[in-house]
Amino acid sequence: MLLTILEGSTFAISNEVGDMADGVHGLYTDDTRLLSRSLLTVDGASPLLLTSQVVEYFDSAHYLRNAPAEGLPVDSLSIARERFVGEALTEKFVLRNETRAPLDVTLRLELRSDFADIISVKAHDFALGDPARAAPLPATVSPQQHDPTTLELDDPASDWSTRITFSRACSLDRAQATFRVHLEPRGSWELVSRVARGDRVRSRSASPRFGAELKHVRASLAAWRMRVPRLDAQWTDLERCYERSLADLASLRLKGPEWSHDLPAAGMPWFMTLFGRDTLITSLQTMLFGPELATGALRALAALQAGEDDASIDAEPGKILHELRRGKAAETWFPIYYGTVDATPLFLVLLSEVWRWTGDDAVVRELEPAARAALEWIDSYGDLDGDGLVEYESRTPNGLANQSWKDSGDSQRFRDGREARGPIAPAEVQGYAYDAARRMAELAREVWRDTPLADALESRAEELRARFDSVFWLEERGAYALALDGEKRPVDSLCSNNGHLLWSGIVPEHRVEAVTSALCSDELWSGWGLRTMGAAEAAFNPLGYHTGTVWPHDTALAAWGLAQEGRWEQSWGLVRGLLEAARFFDHSLPEVFAGYARSETAFPVAYPTAARPQAWAAGAPILCLRILLGLRPDPGRGVLVSDVDRPLPDWLGDLTLEAVAAFGRRFDLRIVNRRIEVVPVE
């Protein structure tokens, strides 16, 4: 079992004892592994586990006992190992003599680093990569001793280094820091260590302390909780998911020189950086928290918007980025990469949503140049062949072959299992582009006072809607195709993308019933969530990353689409199944889980290397709460309203959500006797 703690882009992965031994274990910062090995022994033996767990997302506790060794019977020592991450990894070891005789023992820490980038580590992970064919990881580096309390690991291939400081003097021999410990009967001994990137250590001589920075991190979490609405729900699965989502999103908060407000990293451990699509969808999911996250995301992504045509990073003017990378990963992958086809229209959708929740014309005017550039990208660079649809095709050999949200290499599959060849026009991206055009028409008319642009965008949206329906609709399947391939043939597998289409509004009214039936069919609905691909498709695999697994954000967006079409019973069914699934993940939804039918498994089956916490999975319960409440902003009146026009389900029970921010005010929401009340707080 892995235990992970994190704060910003710094995180530590260990086993239950607290050791970092192999695989993905290590201390990472800025996509680079600072420490790949940290093994504790007492008198030459590894301690035995009593219990361990993550306390908050940034700290963990490991309670151990000594293994039997010569002259040291088992259970002679209690060993507490506590750690937290902030700017560094700080760890406290406490040895306590549980006997009535004095003890002399030797504590050793074996310490090494390979300074590997996170992408190379991912390639070597047994469940995701192919170690036999992956490029070799760098050789491990042993520490050098600067003084009795300071060790340093220096990467010979770069200027990276790791500095380890101790509160007590040690001796170093073959990468082992050794401490000689004398314990009186019932006596205790304490050691504190701090591991940090060498060029960020403020003082070489400062002795590490345990607790000062921990208080700061806890205060930051408390402040975060104070800013978000407070939920009291009779349905315990909902309340616990909400609380875990708050903690998961707090843990992913990321600082960066390109933005002024904390933004969510995409997910632990592979994606602890800024992603365009993930940040935008997470911001849309969490508008209940107020506009600050979404506004910060828009400003950051606008600042990083591509300004030039650069095929080496799949960039064109106006395009919103796919991801940033730091440290060693920036050398292995790209420092910045633009290979995403959907982030640009989603940027426009989020800008509109912020305006609808706030009525803030100033933000829309501030971001007008970025929005107009994004519109131009959709109309020109996004439409590769001038047919009115948005397509993608990577222009760099190191880029992503698939650039929609289903971006694994085998995701675009026909009903018979054949892989589609590009350029690919994904179905859901046409929906995003349609929604973006309608929303930007509203902003052009209401804020920019550009009536010709508003008229043109409305006309473009209706043309796209008609063309989309004519070329994507599969009459024999009662659903829309996954995509069009490079020869404009419908990629005819039944997939969850139909839910995104309902959310975008591109589905004509006369198709809604059929699409609803397809989504709720046994092929797509597992009982826990929507499968990414229908169970009857030739390429279906319940463990296929995008060909049969369940992604919580995907199910939540489909539930949102069903709710917008007034299909409340079906929408609530998706929400209920998803939040019941969360119960088996300690109410912290993972990035993805297996697509086995609920009737076949006693609980949802974990996907072996799913990111958790992951931003849009953590955002899914927040969106589910909004869906249950039927909540939407009414910018004309400057209030929040509920679209639910019928009694709520019995299983939901009573609920109070306090201090939802919109239009510069606060609103309380209550469910009493299965009815929703929205009350402005004066």
pLDDT of 203 higher than 60 = no
pLDDT of 514 higher than 90 = yes
* Secondary structure of residue 310 in the 3-state scheme: strand
> Are the C-beta atoms of 90 and 208 separated by less than 8 Å?
yes
Co-location of 204 and 339 in the same domain: no
Co-location of 205 and 242 in the same domain: no
Q: What is the per-residue pLDDT for 124?
A: 81
Q: What is the per-residue pLDDT for 200?
A: 67
Which span out of 63-72, 129-138, 203-212 was modeled with the highest average pLDDT? 63-72
Co-location of 160 and 261 in the same domain: no
> Are the C-beta atoms of 578 and 526 separated by less than 8 Å?
no
Co-location of 232 and 212 in the same domain: no
Let me know if residue 126 belongs to a domain: yes
Q: What is the DSSP annotation of 431-498?
A: HHHHHHHHHHHHHHHHTS--HHHHHHHHHHHHHHHHHHHHHHEETTTTEE-SEE-TTS-EE---BTHH
Co-location of 184 and 318 in the same domain: no
Burial 278-304 (b: 16+ CB within 10 A, else e): bbbbbbbbbbbbbbebbbbbbbbbbeb
Of 51-60, 352-361, 450-459, 555-564, minimum mean pLDDT range = 51-60
Let me know if residue 248 belongs to a domain: yes
- Separation between Cα atoms, residue 671 and residue 647, nearest integer Å: 10
CB under 8 A, 24+ apart: contacts of 303-307: 303/258, 303/259, 304/258, 304/336, 305/370, 305/373, 305/374, 306/338
Q: Cis peptide leading into 269, omega within 30 of 0?
A: yes
Let me know if residue 188 belongs to a domain: yes
Report H helices in 286-426. 292-303, 327-332, 343-358, 361-366, 368-379
Let me know if residue 160 belongs to a domain: yes
Co-location of 203 and 264 in the same domain: no
Angle between helix 427-446 and helix 497-504 axes, rounded to 10 deg: 20
Co-location of 156 and 249 in the same domain: no
- Separation between Cα atoms, residue 524 and residue 449, nearest integer Å: 44
Co-location of 493 and 386 in the same domain: yes
- Separation between Cα atoms, residue 195 and residue 607, nearest integer Å: 31
Among 218, 240, 269, the domain-final residue is 218
pLDDT tens readout for residues 298-319? 999 999 999 999 999 999 999 9
pLDDT category, 262, cuts 50, 70, 90?
Answer: confident
Q: What contacts 300, CB < 8 A, 6 or more positions away? A: 256, 258, 259, 261, 263, 274, 279
Q: Cis peptide leading into 613, omega within 30 of 0?
A: yes
Let me know if residue 223 belongs to a domain: no
Let me know if residue 355 belongs to a domain: yes
* Secondary structure of residue 75 in the 3-state scheme: coil
Co-location of 132 and 192 in the same domain: yes
pLDDT category, 164, cuts 50, 70, 90?
Answer: very high
Among 218, 247, 281, the domain-final residue is 218
What is the mean predicted confidence (pLDDT) over 556-568? 97
* Secondary structure of residue 321 in the 3-state scheme: coil
- Separation between Cα atoms, residue 660 and residue 679, nearest integer Å: 10
What is the mean predicted confidence (pLDDT) over 643-655? 92
Distance of CA 470 to the CA centre of its chain: 35
> Are the C-beta atoms of 642 and 219 separated by less than 8 Å?
no
pLDDT category, 682, cuts 50, 70, 90?
Answer: low
pLDDT category, 255, cuts 50, 70, 90?
Answer: confident
**CATH code of residue 22:** 2.70.98
- Separation between Cα atoms, residue 633 and residue 305, nearest integer Å: 28
Host domain of residue 430: 228-681
Among 160, 192, 218, the domain-final residue is 218
What is the mean predicted confidence (pLDDT) over 82-100? 94
Let me know if residue 582 belongs to a domain: yes
Co-location of 159 and 244 in the same domain: no
What is the mean predicted confidence (pLDDT) over 551-569? 97
pLDDT tens readout for residues 358-417? 999 999 999 999 999 999 999 999 999 999 999 999 999 989 999 999 999 999 999 999
What is the mean predicted confidence (pLDDT) over 34-39? 96
The count of residues in the chain is 682
Angle between helix 509-519 and helix 552-564 axes, rounded to 10 deg: 140
Mean model confidence pLDDT for the chain: 93
Co-location of 165 and 306 in the same domain: no
pLDDT category, 256, cuts 50, 70, 90?
Answer: confident
pLDDT of 332 higher than 80 = yes
Counted domains in the chain: 2
**CATH code of residue 255:** 1.50.10.10
Q: Cα dist. 197→32, 34, 163, 254, 271 in Å?
A: 10, 7, 6, 17, 20
Let me know if residue 614 belongs to a domain: yes
Report H helices in 316-450. 327-332, 343-358, 361-366, 368-379, 427-446
Co-location of 212 and 232 in the same domain: no
